[in-house]
């Protein structure tokens, strides 16, 4: 199958602070890729590079079979790629929930009636039916997170880029979200510090560390006391002990990358 995204030696940063260093990354159809790494490693930046919100200083971004170098060339990419921002307040800007969710389909050229049908269906799927009339800025943190996701899913994108999608969600809501994402056919790249979410959703993982991206080993680690759990570490780490330093940095304060 044709690649959806391909990064070739992509670098991005600021004069005193390089963020990405000659990063290579490929995304195939139907893949669900976990992007892990320490807070501040550049994970959010990498998602933004994929849709042209951050233009690389070096290297090549190929999206949907075409090289993308300019703001204009990324417009098609953003119509076909749904980006969930880490902070819902960066995503939601309309007075009401329904207006926020309708915006994407309308921007894609759908009629008012088509956009409304898509919006209501999306809200219903995420358990947000009846929330359409609510004032967006008065929602709880978890509600804002789900409405932000609804704005992305309503665009019916070919690719989903999700930055900390489970932030602020209770266990029951998170479970419902996992089940919904597992049912989707779109390729997904997601940033998460939530081990359970990574375990359930990812088909493979990559680690961003010191500006470089490496494939990660994604496997269950058996124990004599009848349970197993997932470990993620760089593929070139040949020795692996059962210690916290070998697991992804999934705990601690959530900060913007």
Residue 87 belongs to domain spanning: 5-246
| Domain harbouring 64, CATH code | 3.40.50.300
Residue 252 forms part of a structural domain:
no
**Whether the predicted pLDDT of 146 surpasses 90:** yes
Picking from 127-131, 181-185, 233-237, which range would have the lowest pLDDT averaged per residue?
233-237
Number of domains in the chain: 1
With contact defined as beta carbons under 8 Å apart, do 213 and 23 qualify? yes
CA proximity to 182, closest of 32, 4, 3, 1:
32
Taking the C-alpha atoms of residue 62 and residue 175, their distance in angstroms, rounded to an integer, is 34
Would you state the pLDDT for residue 181?
92
Over residues 37-54, the mean pLDDT reads 95
Residue at token pair 């070139």: 236
> Is 255 part of a structural domain of the chain?
no
The mean pLDDT value for 251-256 works out to 42
Residue 47 in this model has a pLDDT that exceeds 90: yes
Can you tell me whether residue 239 is helix, strand or coil? coil
Question: What SS3 class is residue 51?
Answer: coil
Burial class (CB in 10 A: 0-12, 13-18, 19+), 222: exposed
Residue 219 near residue 205, CB atoms below 8 Å: no
Domain membership flag for residue 103: yes
Instruction: Answer whether residue 251 is part of any domain.
Output: no
Question: What tokens appear for 219 in the block?
Answer: 């496997």
Confidence of residue 1 (pLDDT cuts 50, 70, 90): low
The answer on pLDDT for 21 being more than 70 is yes
- In the chain, DSSP assigns E strands to 5-14, 17-27, 32-36, 58-63, 66-68, 81-84, 159-163, 187-191, 204-209, 212-222, 228-234
- Residue 189 tokens read as 């790249």
Tokens 């010191």 belong to which residue?
A: 210
Q: pLDDT confidence of 219, banded at 50, 70, 90?
A: low
Is residue 98 classed as helix, strand or coil in its secondary structure? helix
What is the per-residue pLDDT for 87? 92
The per-residue pLDDT for 234 is 56
What is the value of pTM for the model shown?
Answer: 0.84
Residue in the structure block whose two tokens are 């494939």: 215
Beta-strand (E) ranges in 31-84? Answer: 32-36, 58-63, 66-68, 81-84
Mean of all residue pLDDT scores within the chain: 86
Q: Is residue 35 part of a domain?
A: yes
Is residue 151 pLDDT above 90, yes or no?
Answer: yes
Structure tokens at 234: 């760089």
Give whole-number Cα distances, 56 to 49, 79, 138, 175, 197, in Å.
7, 20, 37, 36, 30
Question: Closest Cα to residue 22, out of 7, 41, 42?
Answer: 7
Average pLDDT over residues 210-220: 80
The pLDDT, as a whole number, for residue 211 is 94
Q: Give 216's Cβ-side CA count (13 Å radius).
A: 26
| Distance (Å, whole) CA 166 – CA 178 | 9
Handedness of CA 18, 21, 25, 31 (dihedral sign): negative
Residue 254 domain-assigned?
no
């Amino acid at each position: 199958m044709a690649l959806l995204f391909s990064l070739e030696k992509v670098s991005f940063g600021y004069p005193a602070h390089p963020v990405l260093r000659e990063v290579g990354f490929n995304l195939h159809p139907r893949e669900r890729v976990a992007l892990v790494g320490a807070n501040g490693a550049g994970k959010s930046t990498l998602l933004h590079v994929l849709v042209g919100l951050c233009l690389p200083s070096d290297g090549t971004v190929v999206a949907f079979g075409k090289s993308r170098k300019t703001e204009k060339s990324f417009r098609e990419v953003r119509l076909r790629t749904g980006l969930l921002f880490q902070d819902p307040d960066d995503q939601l800007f309309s007075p009401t929930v329904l207006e926020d969710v309708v915006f994407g389909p309308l921007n894609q050229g759908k009629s008012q009636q088509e956009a409304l049908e898509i919006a209501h269906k999306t809200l219903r799927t995420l358990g947000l039916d009846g929330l359409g009339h609510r004032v967006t800025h008065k929602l709880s943190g978890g509600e804002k997170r789900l409405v932000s996701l609804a704005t992305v899913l309503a665009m019916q994108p070919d690719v989903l880029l999700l930055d900390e999608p489970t932030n602020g969600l209770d266990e029951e809501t998170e479970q419902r979200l996992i089940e919904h994402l597992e049912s989707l056919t779109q390729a997904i790249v997601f940033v998460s510090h939530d081990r359970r979410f990574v375990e359930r959703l990812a088909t493979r993982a990559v680690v961003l560390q010191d500006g470089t991206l490496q494939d990660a080993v994604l496997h269950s680690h058996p124990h004599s006391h009848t349970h197993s759990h997932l470990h993620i570490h760089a593929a070139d780490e040949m020795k692996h002990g059962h210690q916290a330093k070998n697991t992804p940095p999934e705990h601690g304060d959530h900060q913007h990358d």
